[in-house]
Structure 1
Amino acid sequence: MSIDFDLRDGGIATITINRPERHNAMDPEHYSMLSEAWSRVRDDDDIRVAIVTGAGDKAFTAGADIKKVIAREIPMADTWKTQQDMLLNRGLEIWKPVIAAINGYCLGGGVTLMLATDIRVASADATFSVAEVKRGVIAGNGGTQRLIEQLPYPIAMEMLLTGEAIDAEQALRWGLINKIVPAAADTMPAALEYAERISRNAPLAVQATKELALRSRDVPRIVGFRLEQLVSRVLRNTEDAVEGPKAFSEKRAPNFRGR
């Protein structure tokens, strides 16, 4: 029972929700450990990209452990502790790319977590649902916000209001995931292939690109253009901006250092 963290060559971090006996459902302790893992991804300059997955071959994560989270009595004072145990899907800002390797059930808070990632690979038997309305609660931590952004309106509302599931083919058809692989065991290799391609790029440029893309949703277009221009000019003064063209002219792989 843990949140496992591994840092591979190339600056690829892997976060594994390790509670397969409960379909990787998360209780308060797991949420706290997951928060620590996300903070490490954000703050460690050696990390260029992260992958999040679930242990075993049945589930990515079933989201919150209903018995230990939903039924738990929460002190009213916690309502205003908005920065406590911050998560990727609860507003923690991580500009390094995050890939989801969805190896089975992706339910409730699992969908919410997936919606906060950038690239998603799913096994053919993956199932996606936000069934919180069937439990008397809502798809929190951004569920009602991101699903409506990332799916056509009627599809998102059908999922949110009925609580019924969609399969991997439907998720791919509506653009909720990038790729389907045959089995759960194939999700990590596919996710790693994406991660390796990303990690070879200039890390500062990658992070800037992600931030600008996400911020563009919240600012007027003219402001977005201006931010893009300013960030572009800042990046031109980095060592990586010198190394990239030099490596291209010398017909070799660039050695980006994030400087």
Structure 2
Amino acid sequence: MPIDVAVEKGICTIVINRPERLNALDAEHYHALAEAWCRVRDDAEIRVAVVTGAGDRSFTAGADIKSVLTDPPGYDEMWLTQRDQRLDHGIEVWKPIIAAINGYCLGGGMTLMLATDIRIASENATFSFAEVKRGLIGVTSHAYRQLPHAIAMEMFLTGDSIDARSAAHWGLVNKVVPQSQLMEAAIDYARHISLNAPLAVQAAKELALRSRDADLATALRMEQMFNRVLMATEDGKEGPAAFAEKRAPQFRGK
């Protein structure tokens, strides 16, 4: 399979499995990855997802230049906006997604990473928007929101790479660890999150992302409405009850 998907104890692990091509994505991989995101979105047993690349050289080098960039889809496909939706283009997945970035994170790899919620990088990870060196542009709108202006523009306009420590300094990643500890660190984050109330976690993510484009009054009103809904759920009652009874809560996502 071009994309390996496994689920264990509420954690879905997604592996881009094409190490011989630095996990570059062709049409088959994009399709399989879209199916994986749909599964994460729709499977109630999944609480958190971790995405990574096979091997230790590359998270993903982005779109496969030899296929995707030299044989682009027809103009008619530009309006098939609901087909093979990607994490950074259209599909709404409110469950937390953690990126375990091993090695190269280039072009479309940056696009994917920027659409995740928590990012762990190996010490050998490198990051770049190299599209300008190929006559194209990268995902500037997502990146510009997550980087200081001068740093974003330097990366966009030069196409040059930054290392893992620089990425952490500028807030692109949460943590840098040795390659041997990468998946362990990512899974630890996933386990920690999976212990929380699933509906509250998803609500927190949706509220955070939607409120970026809302005025403060609207964002605060959304927060009130989300909390009112959560208070009526089974988990919303279980949390306070467990606290009062001094026991670990048993959240069911209901």
Q: Which residue of 1 aligns with 2:193?
A: 198
**CA distance in 1 between partners of 2:198 and 2:72 (Å):** 42
**CA distance in 1 between partners of 2:78 and 2:239 (Å):** 47
Tell me the SS of whatever aligns to 2:124: coil
**CA distance in 2 between partners of 1:170 and 1:91 (Å):** 29
Q: Which residue of 1 aligns with 2:204?
A: 209
Q: 1:245 aligns with which of 240, 250, 254?
A: 240
* TM-score (normalised: structure 2): 0.98
Alignment pair present for 1:20 and 2:16: no
Alignment pair present for 1:70 and 2:61: no
Q: Which residue of 1 aligns with 2:221?
A: 226
User: Is there any run of 5+ residues in structure 2 with no aligned partner, and where?
Assistant: none
The CA RMSD measured in Å over matched residues stands at 0.8
Q: Which residue of 2 aligns with 1:158?
A: 154
1:89-104 → structure 2 map (5 Å cutoff): 89-104=88-103
Tell me the SS of whatever aligns to 2:212: coil
1:92-131 → structure 2 map (5 Å cutoff): 92-131=91-130
Cα deviation, residue 254, structure 1: 0.8
Cα deviation, residue 115, structure 1: 0.2
Aligned-partner residue type, residue 7 of structure 2: L
Cα deviation, residue 82, structure 1: 1.1
Q: Which residue of 2 aligns with 1:7?
A: 7
**CA distance in 1 between partners of 2:123 and 2:247 (Å):** 38
**CA distance in 1 between partners of 2:111 and 2:72 (Å):** 22
**CA distance in 2 between partners of 1:42 and 1:202 (Å):** 16
Tell me the SS of whatever aligns to 2:23: coil
Tell me the SS of whatever aligns to 1:106: strand
Q: Which residue of 2 aligns with 1:52?
A: 51
**CA distance in 2 between partners of 1:76 and 1:178 (Å):** 38
Cα deviation, residue 31, structure 1: 0.2
**CA distance in 2 between partners of 1:92 and 1:215 (Å):** 14
- Deviations, residues 3-52 of structure 1 (Å, cap 9, x unaligned): 0000011x100000000000000100100000000010011111101000
Identity across matched positions, percent: 63
Tell me the SS of whatever aligns to 1:88: coil
* TM-score (normalised: structure 1): 0.96
Tell me the SS of whatever aligns to 1:101: strand
Q: Which residue of 1 aligns with 2:141?
A: 145
